[in-house]
Structures are given as C-alpha cells and as structure tokens.
Chains A and B, each alone.
Chain A
Amino acid sequence: MIDAQKTIVVTGIGVVSPYGIGLSRLQAGMLAGQCCLAPATELYSGFQGTVAQVGALPSLHDGHHYSRSDRLAMVAARDAVADIASSCSSFRESGIVMASTVAGLTEIDPEISRGPAAWYRHGGLLRAASYSVSRVAASVGECLDIQGPSCAVSVACASGATALVLSANMLLDEAAPMVFAGGSDALCPFTLSGFNSLQALDEEACRPFDQNRKGLNLGEGAAVLVLETLAHATRRGARILAVLRGWAMTNDAFHPTAPQKDGIGLASCIQRSLEMAECSIEEVGYVNAHGTGTPLNDIAETHAYERAFHGRSRPIPVSSTKSYFGHCLGAAGALEAAITIMAMRTGVLFPTLRLTDPIESPQVDWLRGKLRRQPLPVAMSVSAGFGGSNVALVFGSYRS
C-alpha cells in the first residue's frame, strides 16, 4: 500500500533543447535518430569544435535583463506550465529548484578583468547582475509569478538531477505543494574554453561508451519538471507522468575532476536509490547514463554498472542520450530525467548514436543501432559531475 503523501510524482515536463521547445519536438527528433551536434567556429576566436545549440528564443519580460541561461529556464518553465495547464489553475505557492553551472557567465566579458568599475559603467552593471546562479531560479519565479521557496543548485554536471532530489525532499517536508524543478545552461565561451583547456572535448561528434571515444561535446538547453505528492496530484486531478520512486546522492571524495576509476561511489549511489525505491536490480529496464564520451567517465561508469547490477540475470540496458545533443551541463540531469520518463511512457529505448565499438562489458547491454521497443515499468537516470558528486533517480510508471 503506497502512502500518497510520501509518494512523489511527475505531472508536467517543459523542455528547451536543440530540437526546439517542448518534449514533443525532443521526442520526434530522437525517434528520428536526428543528431543536433554540428561544427561551430563562431563561439569564440580559435574554437573549432562540435556543439549543439538552441535556436532563437522567444522574447520574455521585455525591459529586464536576463542571461541566456535564465531565458532558457524561463522558456522551459512556461512550457512546463503549458503541459499542466489543463489540470492546474493555481501554483503561486509552488517551490522552485533550478540547477545551473553557467548561469550568468554568458553575460560577462573578459574585459571585466581589466577594470570592473569601467566595465560596469559601460553597460556591464545590469549584465553582471545576472551572474549569480540564484538568478536562474529567481527568473523562473518572476516569469511564472511563483512565490514559494526558491533555490538554485550548482553541483557541476550532477546539478539538474540534484535539483530533482532537493525538490522531492521539499515536497516530503510539505515546504511547498508543488515544485518546478530542473536545470538550465547556455553555451558560452567560458565553459567551452574551460573544457577545451582540459582537453575534454571531441572535435567531432562524441561517441559515448565507444572504445574510440575522445571526449564530450557541449550543448545547451533546459528542462523543468513539475513535481508534487501523489496525494496533491490526485486531489487536483492531474495527469501523472511517472513516479519518482527513489533517489540517492553520493560523493566519490576521490579527485576534483576525475571520477573514481572503479566506479564505487556511483555504484553505491545506484544501490541506495534502488533501496529507497524498494526495487530489485532485475526490475530496472533501462539506465539513461551520464555517458559524456570522455575516456575517464565512461569506463568508470561502466564499472559502476557492473558493480551495482552484479548478479542480475541479464545485462542491464544502458544508453547515453548525450550523443544526440551533447552535454548540457547543469541542465543535463533534468533533460535526461525527462527523456527517461519519455522512454517509459512510449516504451521506446533510445540507442547511443555512433556507438560502433562499445566498451567490453558482459554485464551491460549497450543500446545501439535501432530503437528498441519494450514495456518499461522502471527506469533509472544517472548523473555525475566534477567534484565527485553522483546522483541516481529511479522512475516508475504510474497505475492508478
């Protein structure tokens, strides 16, 4: 017997991705096997690489200055509202938990370092006001006129999934009746340059989990999921997309940037999330992996799956959807949670693109080539990030 007050459900999803605005565009693009990654040379002088970009965004709140990360978040939040509009008339007291790593860095120019005051006087003052990551959450609040608890999360590439965990806890605490939770990050020279300096980028389209992978591609986008308790959702007659059955967060405490090679931290995270979900390793039908395409991440992650799903009667199906539109950093965990739910609702497992020579692992069923269709009552989304943070989310389908 489930406790409706303690069961967290997803009732709406808003998305801005390189496919456009809305989950339906993302779904259509991915079903068609369309890859959004393309060479880019204009992001900054000297950059030659492959990225996935979102097209022009609708204008929002004219007269205010918002960073591109803010605007992506606001568009995704509006899309989430549109997704629940048929069954929800009021969400003013809702909470907001938005993740970002880039936030307002898109608005800052290196010239600031030559003299901040002068840069501010010449137009930088308003632009710099969007610097703090808290602005992303505040922008969503302003856009939707929401006045509940508002918080931004910055846990590197695990940020988006962390936002969902914190939101779920807020709902358990009855801190808000609903929470708009997700992540948003825009492409900008700062992060491109940073990952380039670390030699973490693949100049061509990335190949997650391939033996010949060379690195990641950056993308941009945002996803906002509407979370509430089952009791609240039922009371208002909401359409329930999925149940967030379990979650866990761990830290490798191993290295500032490199994951633990044997994947122990991530494996422990997966195991804890399954314990919370009261779910066996046999029940999980699919894992949407972190799968960046970097040599270090993908092998560590493979070892994590081998540990976490050790003893399972058949290999665990795994794919990385970053092969479609790159690594959207702070938005990645939320976007991939949305894709995981989409897979559950459609019964379609998306393969990793360009995975021709996968890492050898008898315990992992690498999804590649064609779409796979199968019923999917339980699926998992996994995220990890610089600083050693890991997050695992277990979603289940809902039957009233």
Chain B
Amino acid sequence: MKTTLPVLTGIGSVTPYGPLAGLIPAESSGPLEPSAITAWTTLGLRRAFLVEPFRPASIVPGLKTRRLDRLSAWALVASSLALRDAGIDLGQMDRSRIAVFFATGFGCVELTEAFYQSAATYGWAETDPITFPETLSNAPASHVALFHDLRGPNVTVSSKSFAAESALLQAASLMRHGQADMAIVLAGDTLTQAVYEWYETAHLLSPACFGNGPAPSVGGFIPSEGVVAMVLEPDGRQAARPYAALGAGRWAAGGDARASVGQLLGGDLPDFTICAGNGAPCAPSPLTCLPRELVGEDSTIFPAQPVASGMGEAGALLHLLLALSRRPGPGQALLLGTSAHGGYAALRLELF
C-alpha cells in the first residue's frame, strides 16, 4: 500500500445506530426501521430515523454538554470516537495543523428554534444571550476545536444536496495544498419539529413516516439525524489502520453529470459504487440510472440507504460508513451523490 492521497483512518458516529467508534457491527448494520417521534406532540403517528438519547459523558469521559444542543454534543462525541478509532494521540501532534470541516444542512436548528421561542415569549428585546452564539452554524465545529484544542482551519459548509461530499473534497484539498496536516471531517444534522413539519407540509415524506409498515424505497423519504466524523491523515503513519484513500473528485450544481463523472473515471471503472442519494424523492430523476450506466454491470453497487438519505445534504458520510461496514474488501470505489434537483458529487476512493 503506497499512496500520497489523504487516507481515512478513523470513524466515529452518532446515528440511529447509536454512538460508535469505527464501522457499524455486521449484526446491526442492516436496514433500520424508523421510530415513532415522541420529542414533540404529533398529529397521529409520525416516524423518523432518530438518535436514541444517551449521556455523552458515558461515551467520552469528561465531556460537558449541558449547555450545548444535540448537534454540537454529537459532533464532540463523534469526533472523539473517530480520533479514538484512528488511534491518534493529539498530544504528539501539532494541533495548529489539524483542520476541522463540518458539513450541515440546517446547522444548530434546535437552538435557533429556542431563540425564536424566547423572542415569541419575551420579545426581541429580551432574548437569551447564552443561546444566541450557539445558534450559529459553525458552533459544532468550533466546539470540536475547543474540546480537542485544534487550532488549524475550522470551516463549516453547506451545499445544496452535497454538503458532506464537498466537505470531504475541500478538507482533502487543504491537506494536499499543505494548509493542514490532518483533518476531521464531520457531517450531520438534527431533526426538530420545525424541520419535520416543513417536510410534511411540503408533502416530501414517505408513507412509512405515517404508519408502521416497512420503509419503502420510493415515494418520499424518511427524515434522519446524526453526525458522522472521519479522520483524514496523510499516508504513512505506522500505527494507522486505514479504511480508504481519497482520490480525485468533483461536484457541481448542474451540467452533464454523465460526461463529467465519466471523465473523472477515465476508462478505469470502479469495483464498487456507493450511492449517496440526497433524500429528496429521486425516482423521477434521470440521474437515478446514472450509477449503473456509468460503471457497467461488473461494479458492485451499494444502493442509497434510507437512514442516510434521510439526512439530506449531510448524508454522504453515513452512506460511506454503511458501505464500508459491509466490508466490501479492497478495490477501487466511487462515492456518487446525485440529486433530484440536478447536480452530482463524485469521489474516487481506494478501499483497503
């Protein structure tokens, strides 16, 4: 194994599969069923892929999250688990050279709602000063920097349909250009009443959100939540146990995805294709047939998983984690995100 590409050496996650370091165990990595929402009053049964409540300090000793929203707390837990999984001793590293990249669709929406609640109750002149800074989208990434004392670049991005893919690509870019030695890439969102009810009012939800039947693969989506963190290092650390190396990639808001991804692949078709649908209904999209059309019949395709698609633009890291958890074996892979709104994201990976 000899490569100069950024290497994925650690994974941590807080998802509907629970808080985990590394891959999802085989016995629990199968399809999940959505759970009933109880965090707010719903008009009848409403379901989603939810993170079960847990005590962060029981996973990461010493972690204080009382004043944080779930997104920041999960980011702290997931980043800690990813570093643990990578076997990294931050004390031995130059922390000013470690970047944090966080991808999110809605950011700290829980505390944003709380801030609106305080404005509705007390008026704009009497809002809560503790809550306000935590409503900023970059709060989770800055808490990760603060907790781990990481003084390198700290960036929060959002990208219609492809936030997680763009974060991976941009973090790898920072490393490639010598602007960071290592990066922790995180992607995630939390599900709140306002977000869920927006989906419902917009008629975007799957029938499975309203009943007890199995999750169908088409016709709306099932919202999901969680944070996945991945550690990217340059190749060469002796103790590293790498999952994959990141190769070239690109993403675009439109244009000819077939031509562009085809150009990225050249004549070198991947052994595995990991589909990362964005959660919106995509059956009408001509891009749904893109993976098979691009990679031919010989590539093993990991279809988009509802639990990851439900996380929208932050879902790609969970798609990748789920595919890696299937232990596909060594080979070339393509992480391919497509969107019903047009656009694509494609990233070449070498799986170890």
Interface residues of A (CB under 8 A from B): 44-47, 92-93, 96, 101, 105, 108-114, 116-117, 120-121, 125, 128-129, 131-135, 137-138, 141, 146-156, 162, 165-166, 169-170, 172-173, 175, 189-190, 192-199, 248-257, 265, 268, 385-389
Contact = CB atoms under 8 A, between A and B. Distances in A.
Contacts of A195: 132
Interface size class of B (residues with CB under 8 A): 35 or more
Contacts of B142: 251, 256, 386-389
Interface string B121-158: 00111111100111111110111011011111111111
Interface in B180-196: 193-194
B120 interface: yes
Contacts of A101: 136-137
Given A150-B160, A151-B159, A151-B166, A117 B197 contact: yes
Given A149-B252, A151-B159, A251 B150 contact: yes
A172 B160 contact: no
A132 B193 CA distance: 16
A44 B124 contact: yes
Given A155-B155, A389-B142, A111 B120 contact: yes
A96 B158 CA distance: 12
Contacts of A128: 194, 198
Contacts of A172: 173, 177
B198 A116 contact: yes
A153 B146 contact: no
Contacts of A386: 133, 136, 138, 142
Contact of B170 (A105, A131, A166, A250): A166
Interface stretch (B111-119, B208-216, B324-332): B111-119
Given A46-B123, A194-B127, A154 B197 contact: no
16 contacts: A46-B123, A109-B116, A110-B120, A113-B119, A134-B163, A152-B158, A154-B138, A154-B158, A169-B177, A194-B135, A250-B153, A253-B95, A253-B150, A387-B139, A388-B146, A389-B138
Interface in B75-125: 95-96, 99-100, 105-107, 112-113, 115-117, 119-120, 123-125
A134 B158 contact: yes
Given A253-B149, A256-B142, A175 B250 contact: yes
Contacts of A96: 253
A117 B200 contact: yes
Interface of B: 43, 95-96, 99-100, 105-107, 112-113, 115-117, 119-120, 123-129, 132-139, 141-143, 145-146, 148-160, 163, 166, 169-170, 173-174, 176-177, 179, 193-194, 197-198, 200-202, 250-255, 313, 342-343
Contact of A197 (B127, B137, B197): B127
Contacts of A138: 160, 253
Contacts, number: 232
Nearest to B202: A125
Contacts of A197: 126-129, 132
Contact of B125 (A46, A114, A125): A46
Contact of A108 (B96, B116, B155): B116
A14 B334 CA distance: 38
Contacts of B126: 197
Given A249-B154, A386-B138, 11 more contacts: A125-B202, A133-B158, A134-B105, A147-B253, A148-B253, A152-B158, A154-B136, A156-B138, A387-B138, A387-B141, A389-B138
A254 B107 CA distance: 21
A113 B113 contact: yes
7 A-B pairs with the lowest CB-CB distances in the bound complex, closest first: A387-B142, A147-B254, A46-B125, A194-B132, A249-B153, A110-B120, A154-B137
Contacts of B152: 249-251
Contacts of A147: 252-255, 342-343
A189 B119 contact: yes
Nearest to B128: A197
A196 B202 contact: no
Contacts of B43: 117
B125 A134 contact: no
A107 to B, nearest CB: 12
Contact of B146 (A105, A146, A253): A253
